[in-house]
Amino acid sequence: MASYSKEFRQRTVARLMPPESAEISVLSAQLGIPAATLERWHAEALSAHSNQQPTPPAPPRTRSTAGDEVDQRTAHSKQPTNTLQTLDRGLSALTLIAQQEDGMSISELAAALDVHRAIAYRIAATLEVRGLIVRAPGGRLRLGPGLLTLASRFEPQLRLLAQPILRDLAESTQAAAFLSVPAGEDCVAIMVIEPEGRLLRVAYRVGIRHPLDRGAAGIAILAGRPVSTDESESVRAARRDGFSVTHGELQKGAVGVASPVHGPGRNQAGFEASIGVVAFEDLDVTAATRQVLQSARALTAAVCRNENRPLGAPKRP
C-alpha cells in the first residue's frame, strides 16, 4: 500500500476543496492515487470540518392539539414522521444509481441527494458492504449483485399475492389469466391460470417470452412507464385508457387484454408488471377489460399494502 506524507495529503485535499473543487477522477489520473483513497481523504476532511462547526440552537417546540411537544421541523415537514432519513437517503441513492447506465460518481450522488460528499461517501460505503452497489474502476458507483438476491425473493411473494386474483379473473372471463414482467427488451409470463372446464385454450404458458412492444402484456408494461418520445401509438393509447387490447399479434385468432400493475413509487425505477387475459375471438372484450382493470387495481393495492405495512402491524384483511 502506498504511503503519503501528511503535507502531500493536505495539499491534495485542499485541491478538492473550494475554490478549485477538483474532480476526484481527474485528480486520481493526474497524481496516480486511487479514487477510493481520494474519496476517503475528502470525506474525512469534510467530517472534521463539520465537527468543528458550532452546534446550532435546537428548534423551538410547539404543542400539538393532543398536547404533545412537536419539533417545529417535524411540524412543518411534508415527510412522513415514521421514516428514517438515513435509510431514505440510502434507498434514494440506489434509485439514482439505477437510473444512470454508466453509474455515478460520489460528487454526482452528493449533488443529486443534496448532501455533503462526506455523507454521500458513507452512504455509498454502506451500500457497497451489503453488495447493493459496486465501485467500478475510476470510482463510479454501479448496482451490485446483492440486488439480484433481493429481486429473486420478491417474485415468490408476488406470485402468492397474485394467485387468488388471477384465479378469479380467469373464472370471471373464461380466459387464460396471466401475470407478466419485463426482462430486458422482452415480456415474460411468470404466472398463468386457466379457467376450469374450458376445453379450447390459447397456447399461453408460464415462461413464454415476446418483445415488449408486441402483445397486450408488454404494451401495458410500457404504458406504465414515463412518456418516451419514440413510443408507439399503441403504447400512448394504453397509457391514456389504462389498458391495452391486441388482436392476433402473438397468435393468430387470439385476443389479449392487459393493464399495468405498479408498486409504491411508480415514478421511480422499480417494480413493473402487467395483468390480463388472453383468449380466442369469442372473448367479450368489453367485459374482460372491466375485469382486467379491476384485477390490476386489486393487485396494485395488495402489493402496496404488503410493502408499506409498518413493522409489527397486523396484516390487513
Q: Would you say residue 201 has pLDDT above 70?
A: no
Residues 213-233: pLDDT tens digits? 999 999 999 999 888 888 999
Q: Would you say residue 155 has pLDDT above 50?
A: yes
User: Looking at residues 171-180, what average pLDDT do you find?
Assistant: 94
Residues 18-73: pLDDT tens digits? 666 777 777 777 788 887 788 787 777 766 655 555 544 545 544 444 444 444 44
Residue 222 makes CB contacts below 8 A (sequence gap 6+) with 212, 213, 231, 235, 238
Comparing CA positions, the residue from 134, 136, 132, 104 lying closest to residue 120 is 104
In this prediction, what percent of the chain has a pLDDT beyond 90?
36
Residues 90-142: pLDDT tens digits? 989 998 998 888 889 999 999 999 999 889 989 999 999 889 999 888 889 99
Query: Can you read off the three cell numbers belonging to residue 178?
Result: 396471466
| Residue 131: C-alpha distances to residues 100, 124, 147, 187 (Å) | 18, 10, 8, 27
CB atoms within 10 A of CB 305: 13
Domains of the chain plus CATH, in order, are 9-50+83-143 (1.10.10.10), 148-308 (3.30.450.40)
Phi, psi angles (nearest 5°) of residue 231: -75, 155
- How high does pLDDT run on average in the chain? 80
Amino acid at 39: E
Q: d(Cα 165, Cα 49) in Å, to the nearest integer? A: 56
Amino acid at 127: L
